[in-house]
Amino acid sequence: MTQFESCAGSWTMYLTSRATTLPTVAEVRRRLPFIVAAAVAASDAYHDLIACRQALRRGVRSPEARAAIGIRRDDALQRLDRAIDDCDAVSAHVRDFSSLMVSLEARTALGPISLIWRRGECPSSVWREVDGGD
């Protein structure tokens, strides 16, 4: 396996027999705005879940407040579930909910690669150095 790093995202090259079923880097980049939106929704829901857990650990005594936190927690769980389903539909894997790191597989002329997108990277400019193989 060969690891590559750049300012526009990291990618790892490895060999696999699924190379022909993987999308190209250009196809993955076209899907990236949808993937970013789903990953951000997953991250936001995750942070809401953490906030609910912390609120419950602080010992909320009021039954009404506990019920409100429970409703908020259930909503966050449903949002997280939907966002993960959206990511799964395009074979995107959220690797870190806190810092928001997403991995995706793609193919190039050199073979399959694993692409990483991190929060803060511009979706329209990532992975330009690997596009030559599309």
Helices (H), the chain: 25-57, 63-89
pLDDT digits (tens, 9 = 90+) for 3-34: 444 444 444 444 444 445 888 888 898 899 99
CA 121/CA 33 separation, integer angstroms: 11
What total number of domains does the chain contain?
Answer: 1
Owning domain of residue 46: 2-133
pLDDT digits (tens, 9 = 90+) for 111-131: 888 889 998 888 777 776 665
Please choose, from the candidates 94, 113, 108, 112, the residue with its C-alpha nearest in 3D space to the C-alpha of residue 11. Answer: 113
Per-residue pLDDT band for 2 (boundaries 50, 70, 90) equals very low
pTM equals 0.75
Residues 6+ apart with CB under 8 A from 6: 129
